[in-house]
Amino acid sequence: MGYTLSEKILAAHAGLAAARAGQFVDVAVDIVLSNDITAPIAIREFEELGVERVFDPERVVMVPDHFAPNKDIASAEQCRRVREFARAQGLRHYFEVGRMGIEHVLLPEQGLVVPGDVIVGADSHTCTYGALGAFATGMGSTDIAVAMATGRTWMRVPETIHISYHGSLQPYVGGKDLILYTLGQIGVDGARYQTIEFAGPVLEALSMDGRLTMANMAIEGGAKAGLFAVDERTRAYLDGRAARPWQAYQADDDAVYVRRLEIDVAQIEPQVAFPHLPENARAVSEAGEIVIDQVVIGSCTNGRLEDLRVAAAILRGRQVHANVRCIVIPGSQQVYLDAAREGLLEAFVTAGAAVSTPTCGPCLGGYMGVLAAGERAVSTTNRNFRGRMGHPDSQVYLASPAVAAASAVAGKIAHPASFDGQRDEEKAL
C-alpha cells in the first residue's frame, strides 16, 4: 500500500523511511510563524523555557497583522513586545507596517514557503500553505514557543480525505465557491484532524490564488492540513520566488485514504455561506432579498491580486449602494502596489469604496469594519461565527470577491451575472 502526501512529508521530516496515519512522530520544522496576537504568548513561554536564542533566526517569522497598524494602546503594546523580541533575536523575517502584509498572503508571496516544508504557525489558517505542497498547520502559542526553541514539534500523522473536482466551471465560480460548496458537503467537522488532498482536473487549471483560497479554508472543515500536489503551475509560481531549495512529494496511486469524494463542479453556482457557520453554503440564487450594510473584500482568504481584479471588474464604472459600506483590503504591500499600478484602487475609490493598508482588521472583528447589532455583511473572509465581526446579533455572509462586489452595488446579496451586459445597454442609450 502506498502513502499520502502527509505521510510522505512527515516521514521525511521525522527521519523515517515511512510513516502511517495514526503514528506519532517528532518532526523538524522549516518555518515557525506567529502574529501580534499569538507571538506575545509564545515569547513569554519561550522565555520561561530558559532558552536564550531561537533555533534559527532565518526560520522564525513574525508578522504583526491582526491589530496593526495599532488600533489602540493594548495592541500597540502587543506589537512592541513582538518588535523588541524580533530585534533582539535578529529575526530576518519580521514584517511590520509599511513592508508587511496579512501573514498568509505575505509568506507565499515572499517565497518563504516552499513545497515539502513542514510549517507550524500560531494561527489556524496556517494551512494556507498546503496550496504549495507544504504540510502546514496551526498550533497553540505554547507549542510554537517550543518549536522556536528547538526547531521541532510532535504530532500524530493525520488520516487523509481525497477530494477530486471534475467538470466545467460556471462563470464567476472560483476557488472560494469550490471550498464553500465542499464545506457544505462535509460540514465543519467533516475532516477533523485529517488532511484534505485537493485534486482533479478542475484544480489543475485553477490559479495559485484560487488554490491558496481553498487550502486556507481547509481548517473550516476541521482539517489539520489541506494539500495540493506540486505541478507545473506551482513551479511557475515558485520560479524566481522561492527563497530556498525545495523537494516536491507526490501521493502514491495506491495511497490509503479514509474517504474519497468526487465533486462535479458543473452545477455549482457562486456560493454564499449563511450565518453562523461556513458549512451553511447555498447557491447565491437562493439568497432571496437579503439587504446588507457592509461588504469586506480582502483577508488571508481573498486579499490577493486576482481577488481584487475580480472585484474591480464589477465595481469599475459603478457605484457602491448608498446604504452599503464597502471596505477593500489588499493582502500585502506588493498586492497594494500592483493594484495601484493596474488602476484597481482607482476603480474602488471612484466606486465609493474605502481602501485600507494591509491588515486582518475586520475579519476577526478587530477594527476597520466592526458590525453593530442587527447589521449584515457580505465578506470574503473565512469565518462567520456568531459575533465574529462584531456584535453577537450581527450576521456575516461569506462569499467570493465577485459576489461581494456585486452585492456592494446592489445593496443586497446579488449574483455577479446580474450585471452582465449592463454596460453594453448603457452604451446603447
| CATH code at position 169 | 3.30.499.10
In-domain check, residue 67: yes
- Alpha carbons 198 and 4: distance in angstroms, whole number: 12
Indicate if 340 and 196 belong to the same structural domain. no
For the segment 89-111, the average pLDDT, to the nearest whole number, is: 94
For the segment 400-406, the average pLDDT, to the nearest whole number, is: 97
Would the pLDDT of 423 be above 70?
Answer: no
Indicate if 99 and 169 belong to the same structural domain. yes
Burial letters for 381-394: b for 16+ Cβ neighbours within 10 Å, e otherwise? bbbbeeebbbeeeb
In-domain check, residue 199: yes
Helices (H), 250-343: 299-302, 305-315, 333-341
For residue 426, the model assigns a pLDDT of 47
In-domain check, residue 269: no
For residue 1, the model assigns a pLDDT of 87
List the beta bridge partners of residue 294. 325, 377
- Alpha carbons 312 and 307: distance in angstroms, whole number: 9
Torsion angle of C-alpha atoms 332, 182, 235, 246, degrees rounded to 10 = 90
Indicate if 305 and 250 belong to the same structural domain. no
Indicate if 86 and 51 belong to the same structural domain. yes
Indicate if 225 and 355 belong to the same structural domain. no
In-domain check, residue 345: yes
Residue, of 423 and 386, whose pLDDT is higher: 386
Indicate if 24 and 130 belong to the same structural domain. yes
Split into its structural domains, the chain has a count of 2
Average pLDDT score over the chain? 95
Strand 271-273 with 395-399, pairing: antiparallel
Give the residue numbers spanning the domain of 402. Answer: 274-428
- The last residue of a domain, from among 238, 263, 288: 263
Indicate if 231 and 285 belong to the same structural domain. no
Would the pLDDT of 385 be above 90?
Answer: yes
pLDDT tens-digit readout, 167-191: 999 999 999 999 999 999 999 999 9
- The last residue of a domain, from among 234, 263, 292: 263
Strand 31-35 with 60-63, pairing: parallel
- Alpha carbons 28 and 25: distance in angstroms, whole number: 10
How many residues in total does the chain contain? 429
In-domain check, residue 259: yes
At residue 428 the predicted structure's pLDDT band, cuts being 50, 70 and 90, is very low
Burial letters for 33-60: b for 16+ Cβ neighbours within 10 Å, e otherwise? bbbbbbbbbbbebbeeeeeeebbeeebb
- Alpha carbons 313 and 215: distance in angstroms, whole number: 25
Indicate if 62 and 150 belong to the same structural domain. yes
Indicate if 192 and 318 belong to the same structural domain. no
